[in-house]
Amino acid sequence: MAAKVKLQGQEFPIPDDLIALPDESEEAKRQRDNRLKRWLSQVSPAATNATLQWKEENGETIIQVTPQLGTKGIVVDPVMEALIATPQVVHPVFSLAVELKMRLASRQLDLPSLLRYQSRIDEALSDGHDEERKVEAIYRRLLEVKATASPWVPLGF
Amino acid sequence: MVPDIAHLLEQFRLPLQLEEARSFLHLTHSVTNYLDLYQEYFPKEYERSMALIESGKAQLFPLRGEGYSPHEVRFLTLVDEHLFPLPLWWVVDDASDETRAYTTIPVEPIGIDIGYGDEIEDLRLGLQLLYYLVGEVPADIFDEIIETPDNAIFELPIEQGRVDGPLLKTRCEHAEEPLSFFYLAIDYMAHDTGTVWLDATHDMPCEDADWSRETINALVEQYAKAQDILDKTDRFLDWLEADVLNNFPEVRNIWNAAIRDTQAKERGR
């Protein structure tokens, strides 16, 4: 019988052997649920501590997965929140290069206008280098940091 | 024309990678700098070039893959003709977007560079004699060049020791022209003229001459000074070579006296 999982607004089928029960004992069901949670954690880490609700709908087995409040994304969320809160910016080198290209194509560049751009070009190249230095520093620190096992099996493994 | 269409399309092509965008900004900075200098140093030619650009007959930026736009080639040629020499054969003729002189002026020295294009044996006789005088070459390199009776000059004793430049200059200033230019020939050989044109070498190249008014003006000034030194050195060497037997001893006398002056000065410290 086909089984589907509903998790965080998504619905997808799961392999039958993943939810197969050797018997109807509570222990077998507990092991099945743990097995399913581990598998689902590949999709969403929040599934690790989720509540599973089993029901039948139109001849299908539906498993509603509800992540537990207060425990989801303990590790991930602060990082995600910081990333989301970061203002979106285009690298100054890109934005200025595009602006100049547009003015060049529309024949709006001459010496006086180009001279007015000189300081902006200097700033863009300098700011860009600052940003790249920061990224480079982050990259070096990531390389140097001690490897730690993930609590979740990465997708595809 | 297809090339014009390709160039037009190229202007609309937006950079997709950071390095490409950065290269375009560097190019724009450099194009602006060249234009600014062109207007400053050659205003009439600048106006003519700008008229060509405004009428669409020439482009403001170099075509893709090329080192310079037509007005930049004109500017570099004018610099070479009126300000100081540029190695146009590679700066312009072999230019590409990778070899463009974005920020630095390619200075090609005009002095002696022993071991890199110049060998003492290939220099003019007067210079070879000076290299002998300062102890850089032995007398026997002149065996087949200077014969009797001129080779008697090699019997003259030469003082050994350091020579203080200002003391040598003072000694020379008491002599008549062109012997008075002897110290300039020594400065020329020693890469100590105070001009980048004669002092820079393959081992000590000039790599920090930026395209700024201050540097251009300094190079113009130094080029005039270098030309004056070369002219006076030539006059001195012409005189020396004209009568080696009688003139070399006079040079040697000044040299020996300058060494003794230097030793006396050092003892007095």
What mean pLDDT comes out for the span B252-256? 94
Calpha distance B269→B265 (Å, rounded): 7
Domain that holds residue A119: 89-144
Distance in Å, alpha carbon of A118 to nearest chain B alpha carbon? 6
pLDDT value of residue A73: 45
With respect to residue B148, please indicate whether it lies within any of the assigned structural domains: yes
Out of A94, A96, A105, closest to residue B18 by CB: A94
β-sheet bridge partners, residue B253: none
With respect to residue B64, please indicate whether it lies within any of the assigned structural domains: yes
What mean pLDDT comes out for the span B242-267? 92
Residues 6+ apart with CB under 8 A from A37: A47, A48, A49, A50, A52
Beta carbons of A111 and B32 less than 8 Å apart: yes
Query: Using CA atoms in the order B211, B217, B218, B220, what is the torsion angle rounded to 10 degrees?
Result: 110
pLDDT value of residue A1: 58
Calpha distance B40→B211 (Å, rounded): 12
The better pLDDT of the pair B133, A59 is held by B133
Calpha distance B80→B93 (Å, rounded): 14
Whether residue B240 is predicted with pLDDT greater than 70 in this model: the reply is yes
What mean pLDDT comes out for the span A55-75? 74
pLDDT value of residue B211: 93
With respect to residue A135, please indicate whether it lies within any of the assigned structural domains: yes
Cα torsion B79, B81, B86, B92: sign:
positive
Whether residue A7 is predicted with pLDDT greater than 60 in this model: the reply is yes
Whether residue A120 is predicted with pLDDT greater than 80 in this model: the reply is yes
Q: Residue A14 corresponds to which amino acid?
A: I
Out of B21, B35, B61, closest to residue A104 by CB: B61
Calpha distance B45→B71 (Å, rounded): 9
Out of B25, B36, B39, closest to residue A125 by CB: B25
What mean pLDDT comes out for the span A33-47? 82
- Is there a single domain that holds both residue B84 and residue B129? no
- Is there a single domain that holds both residue B128 and residue B202? yes
- Is there a single domain that holds both residue A11 and residue A60? yes
pLDDT value of residue B215: 96
- Is there a single domain that holds both residue B125 and residue B254? yes
- Is there a single domain that holds both residue B59 and residue B171? no
Per the CB < 8 A criterion, the answer to whether B182 and B175 are in contact is yes
Nearest CA to B124 out of B209, B250, B239 is that of: B239
Domain that holds residue B80: 2-91
Name the pairing type of β-strands A3-7 and A60-66.
parallel
pLDDT value of residue A71: 46
Structure tokens at B234: 């030539």
Could you report the per-residue pLDDT of B55-66, keeping only the tens digit for each? 888 889 998 888
Cα torsion B29, B33, B36, B39: sign:
negative
Confidence of residue B181 (pLDDT cuts 50, 70, 90): very high
- Is there a single domain that holds both residue B208 and residue B163? yes
Q: ipTM value, please give it.
A: 0.72
- Is there a single domain that holds both residue B81 and residue B188? no
Q: Residue B145 corresponds to which amino acid?
A: I
DSSP 3-state percent helix, strand, coil across chain A (nearest 5): 50, 15, 35
- Is there a single domain that holds both residue B137 and residue B247? yes
With respect to residue A77, please indicate whether it lies within any of the assigned structural domains: no
Confidence of residue A76 (pLDDT cuts 50, 70, 90): low
Measured between CA atoms, the residue of chain A closest to residue B10 is: A105
Out of A91, A101, A124, closest to residue B11 by CB: A101
Minimum mean pLDDT range among A94-108, A127-141, B211-225, B251-265: A127-141
A144 class by beta-carbon count within 10 Å (0-12 exposed, 13-18 middle, 19+ buried)? exposed
With respect to residue B68, please indicate whether it lies within any of the assigned structural domains: yes
Per the CB < 8 A criterion, the answer to whether B229 and B188 are in contact is yes
Pick among B32, B50, B213 to test the A interface (most A CBs inside 10 A)? B32
**H-helix segments, chain A:** 26-40, 76-85, 92-105, 111-144
Structure tokens at A37: 């949670």
Percent of chain A with pLDDT over 70: 88
Residues 6+ apart with CB under 8 A from B125: B145, B146, B241, B244
Q: What is the mean pLDDT of chain B?
A: 89
With respect to residue B102, please indicate whether it lies within any of the assigned structural domains: no
With respect to residue B10, please indicate whether it lies within any of the assigned structural domains: yes
Per the CB < 8 A criterion, the answer to whether A22 and A28 are in contact is yes
- Is there a single domain that holds both residue A18 and residue A55? yes
Measured between CA atoms, the residue of chain A closest to residue B24 is: A97
Beta carbons of A125 and B26 less than 8 Å apart: yes
Measured between CA atoms, the residue of chain A closest to residue B29 is: A118
- Is there a single domain that holds both residue B8 and residue B48? yes
- Is there a single domain that holds both residue B69 and residue B182? no
Give the total number of structural domains in chain A. 2
Confidence of residue B1 (pLDDT cuts 50, 70, 90): very low
Q: Which residues of A touch B20 (CB under 8 A)?
A: 97
What mean pLDDT comes out for the span A62-90? 73
Q: Assign B210 to helix, strand or coil.
A: strand
With respect to residue B109, please indicate whether it lies within any of the assigned structural domains: no
What mean pLDDT comes out for the span B90-108? 82
Give the total number of structural domains in chain B. 2
Structure tokens at B164: 């203080």
- Is there a single domain that holds both residue B46 and residue B124? no
- Of the three residues B45, B74, B91, the one that is the final residue of a domain is B91
Minimum mean pLDDT range among A31-40, A73-82, B73-82, B258-267: A73-82
Could you report the per-residue pLDDT of B165-174, keeping only the tens digit for each? 999 999 999 9
pLDDT value of residue A17: 84
pLDDT value of residue A70: 54
Q: Which residues of A touch B28 (CB under 8 A)?
A: 100, 114, 117, 121
Per the CB < 8 A criterion, the answer to whether B172 and B183 are in contact is yes
- Of the three residues A66, A97, A117, the one that is the final residue of a domain is A66
What mean pLDDT comes out for the span A124-149? 84
- Is there a single domain that holds both residue B160 and residue B63? no
- Is there a single domain that holds both residue A16 and residue A52? yes
pLDDT value of residue B210: 92
Whether residue A99 is predicted with pLDDT greater than 80 in this model: the reply is yes
- Is there a single domain that holds both residue B137 and residue B244? yes
pLDDT value of residue B27: 93
**What's the predicted TM-score (pTM) here?**
0.72
Q: What is the mean pLDDT of chain A?
A: 83
β-sheet bridge partners, residue B164: none
